[in-house]
Structure formats: C-alpha cells, structure tokens
Amino acid sequence: MITLEPFLNSWLKAYYAKAKIGFRGDFYTAVSRTKFFGAALANYTLRLLESDFKLPLTIVEIGSHDGTLISDMAEFMHAFDSFAFKDINFATLEPLEPLAILQEANFNARINKFNKNLKVYKDMNELKALDFVFFVSNELLDAFPCELVYKGKQAYIKHDGGVYSLVFDTVTKEVAKKLELYEVKGGEISLSLSKFIESLFMIKSWFFLAFDYGQMEERDISLRIYKDHKVYNFLEEKDKLSSFYETSDVTYDINFRNLEREFVSHGATPCFYYTQSKMLIEECEILEIFESFKPHMSKVNILKHTNAINELIMPNLMGERFKAVGFRR
C-alpha cells in the first residue's frame, strides 16, 4: 500500500499533461471564460506599481497550463501602460516540458510583436537570483495532490490485480504534524503544497496572489473527481478509481486557514483574503475596464464577455465560492 498523495501525484501529472480546459474539457476556469480576468490582474499590477511594487518587475504565473492568463495580462498591460510594460518581464514556472513549450509558443505568438518574450522556469531554484517576484496563480492550490484524513484514519491506496481501491489505516507522523500545525482533526492535507510554499523562501522577496475555491474553516471531506463536467465523490468511488485514473481531474476545496498557517509558519505575512467578487470588482476594477473597451467591441463579444464576467463575480456563481488571497515576504 501507498499513501494517497503519491498516487494522486502520478494520476494528475499524466492528466494535466494532456488535459483539455474549457467547455469541451472536464472543467473550465476564470481564465478560459474571458480575457478580462487577465485584464483585471494587469490593472491590479499597475495599481501596485503606483503604491508598492517597483520597476523592473518580474511576473511569474504558476500553473499556467497553456499560457493564456500570462498572455492576457501582458496584452492588456501593454494597452494600459506601454512605458511600464517595457520594464516588466513575464514568465511561467513549469516543470512539464510539453506545457512549457505550449506556454512559450502561445505567449510569443501574441506578445512577440511588442518585443517581449516569455521566460519559462523549470523549478524555483532558477528564480533565486531575482530580488523580487510577483507570483500569480489561478486554481493552482487545489491542483496539488493531497493526503486524506477521515474519522481519525489516513487514506491509502491498495493495488490488487490491476485494480486501485481506497482503504484507511494509521495516520503517518508527517501528516500528524500538519494536523497539529493547522489545529484540525482531518480533511485534505497536501504535503506537496507545504513543500512548494517552503520553496518560495529561496527567493529574497515576493508577493504571492492566488485565486481558488474554498473557505476559511474546516469542512467535511470535499475530495472529488471531475470528468466531462460531471462531479464524482472520491469516497463513493473508492473501489472504482481505476476507471478514472489519469483520465480525469481530482480536486478539493482549499481550507484557507490551513494555507495561512502554512505560509505564516515559514515567515510570510498574510495580506488579504477576499471573495473573488470583491477582488475583481473593488481591487482590480474589472467592470470599469470592461466598460472602457465596450465601444471597440461587437455586440456579440459584448454579450459574451458580459455573461462571462457576471459568472466570475455573481455571488451565486463563482463570485463568493472562489477566493483571492495574498501573501508576501
């Protein structure tokens, strides 16, 4: 038997290397809905340059998939402030070579006309020479595989006759330490996310912005499988995992209290915890940006992006369930 996290790691590595994101895939994101999500983050970055950040600036997207968000940010940043744009470097952190190639190709196809290329880093070590990094991510945190503790027992994977099944046994020492740090009795515990956060501290100074879904408290087990826009409860499918393995996404709600305690334990400072709606409307000014571009858009595109933006900010859709968090060193 092995614990759940390494099993999910091999599952998700294979899945994300070929995953389709969007309405024809297993799931869609804010980025795949509208480029004005990237426009909002571009505007937010420029606002921070006026009050906090300094040029030259390096923006690194983590979990970029095909490079759409970092490309959207660069495109709008050039439109908003072409002078600041010259002193901003755009990059992704991507260990998977097929995705690194895709990100670079897509970014350069759109942004190379502005004499700007994408830099792709393979691991955090390559960023150590930078004095300051602005990290951005969308639905990165829930993509880290996790261990699972339920009713005082930890999840393990049993492989018998080519069939994977979920069983429960003793909690490991490493997971027990995290439960103590987070002051929780169970739930999804990602050791790889913890190691990722620790790796950020190789860099002298940074600001980390993340959008993801979850809440600031412990809840019931939320581990689930997404396949063809259908949701499956992981525990209910515990004896049928072979039929989903490497061909579907596995995700869970982020416990932002756990996340905050992890960042703080390494010395980071929490900056904010907002609903996605508040972040996009008040901090990023997404509605004002959209209004300014409307005169240059067709009626079809106005309707398309109006619907998409509403989906991102409406409380009953993605606006309240998704959160934005910021940490800095």
pLDDT class for 23, splitting at 50, 70, 90? very low
Per-residue CA distances from 232 to 11, 49, 65, 144, 236 (Å): 16, 43, 23, 18, 8
Q: How do residues 155-192 score in pLDDT, each as one tens digit?
A: 999 998 888 999 999 999 999 999 999 999 999 999 99
Structure tokens at 276: 């996605």
**Whole domain around residue 278: which residue ranges?**
2-328
In angstroms, the CA 87 to CA 83 distance is 8
The dihedrals phi and psi of 221, each to the nearest 5 degrees, come to -55, 130
Q: How do residues 32-54 score in pLDDT, each as one tens digit?
A: 689 999 999 999 999 999 998 99
pTM, entire model: 0.91
The residues, any chain, with a CB within 8 Å of residue 126's CB and separated by 6 or more, are none
pLDDT class for 219, splitting at 50, 70, 90? confident
- Domain with residue 153: its CATH number is 3.40.50.12710
Total structural domains within the chain: 1
